């Protein structure tokens, strides 16, 4: 141990390293051992560790106290017992392709059959218009330059196919059919994209209370891929640098227990480079959507 280290303050680099180790699940004893191995005096290292971790926990407690409280959200996977490879739903077996926790994202294989994808496109195609998004400043629906796709909404339960898909999703995620919005279908031509956004309604916007009268906040999204674009068109999660490939019949589920960027559910549709991209989106609300 050198005299320098005896008196050395915790540098920003060391602090960042200690926090990184703690977040990665390293035990304090292991962190202490690494510090000792790189020449730190044990007492000085313990003091540095304690100071750094206490400061980190205080800051985290302060910032989570400012967040809205979390609400219950649906999920496709059992809470315990390991990751299943197949989910046996009443009318279909769905494969589990990938799951992560922060944000909660689950990629599902074969949620829809290829015939269901084709039929949904056929039913939607003649009703497409330039996509609109709900404007939270006014509560009205407006054409939005961030979304260069064309789209349409089915009413919930509008056709036998819609009812079948809605019932399947309800069984998949354990959430009532009545809490779902009608299925939205989007078509992206080459060059079209959906810039990163959150699917929940921004609580700070004046139009939001009006929107929330119909079933409360959105708490989860299921994006179903209806065809295979040749290149591009993945669903991106920029906060965690994840991109889900748009594979016909597959779907990506994600949930957000807080209507807040801390949910890390910023997501977008990457530009389609070649071919077309068709998706069907199902948004789930906290309560009954009317
Ligand atoms: O088409 C997509 O990949 C996509 C990306 C982001 C769809 C949505 N959001 C949506 O429908 O909300
Ligand atoms: Zn979205």
Whether 73 is in a domain gets the answer no
Same domain for 98 and 198? yes
31: left (phi over 0), alpha (psi -120 to 50) or beta: alpha
pLDDT digits (tens, 9 = 90+) for 163-212: 999 999 999 999 999 999 999 999 999 999 999 999 999 999 999 999 99
Same domain for 21 and 162? no
How many separate domains does the chain show?
Answer: 2
Whether 75 is in a domain gets the answer no
- Written as six digits, the tokens of 196 are 């990163």
pLDDT digits (tens, 9 = 90+) for 68-126: 899 999 999 999 999 999 999 999 999 999 999 999 999 999 999 999 999 999 999 99
Question: Which residue, by CA, sits nearest to atom 4 of ligand 1?
Answer: 269
Same domain for 52 and 135? no
Whether 212 is in a domain gets the answer yes
Same domain for 260 and 213? yes
Burial (Cβ within 10 Å: 0-12, 13-18, ≥19) of residue 124: buried
Pocket test for ligand 1, best of 184, 186, 265 (most atoms within 8 A of CB): 186
Q: Which residue is listed with tokens 């068109």? A: 233
Domain span at residue 51 reads 3-66
Ligand 1 contact, 281 CB (< 6 A) = yes
From ligand 1's centre to the CA of 60, what distance in Å? 31
CATH number of residue 187's parent domain: 2.60.120.620
Tell me the pTM. Answer: 0.79
Whether 72 is in a domain gets the answer no
Question: Which residue, by CA, sits nearest to atom 9 of ligand 1?
Answer: 268
């Amino acid at each position: 141990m050198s005299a320098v280290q005896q008196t050395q303050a915790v540098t920003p680099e060391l602090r960042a390293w200690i926090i990184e180790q703690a977040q990665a699940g390293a035990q304090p004893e292991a962190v202490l051992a690494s510090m000792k191995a790189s020449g730190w005096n044990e007492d000085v290292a313990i003091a540095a560790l304690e100071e750094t971790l206490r400061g980190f926990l205080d800051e985290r407690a302060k910032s989570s106290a400012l967040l809205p409280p979390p609400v219950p959200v649906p999920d496709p996977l059992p809470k315990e017992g390991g990751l299943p490879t197949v989910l046996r739903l009443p009318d279909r077996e769905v494969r589990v392709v990938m799951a992560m926790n922060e944000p909660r994202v689950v990629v599902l294989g074969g949620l829809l059959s290829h015939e269901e994808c084709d039929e949904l496109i056929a039913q939607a195609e003649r009703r497409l218009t330039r996509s609109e998004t709900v404007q939270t400043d006014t509560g009205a629906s407006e054409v939005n330059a961030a979304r260069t796709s064309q789209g349409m909404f089915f009413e919930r339960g509008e056709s036998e196919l819609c009812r079948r898909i809605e019932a399947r999703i309800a069984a998949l995620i354990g959430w009532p059919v009545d809490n779902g919005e009608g299925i939205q279908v989007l078509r992206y031509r080459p060059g079209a994209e959906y810039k990163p956004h959150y699917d929940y309604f921004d609580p700070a916007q004046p139009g939001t209370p009006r929107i929330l009268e119909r079933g409360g906040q959105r708490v989860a999204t299921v994006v179903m891929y209806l065809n295979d674009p040749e290149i591009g068109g993945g669903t991106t999660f920029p906060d965690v640098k994840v991109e889900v490939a748009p594979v016909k019949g597959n779907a990506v589920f994600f949930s957000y227990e807080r209507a807040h960027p801390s949910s890390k559910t910023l997501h977008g549709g990457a530009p389609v480079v070649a071919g077309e991209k068709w998706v069907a989106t199902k948004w789930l609300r906290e309560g009954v959507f009317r």
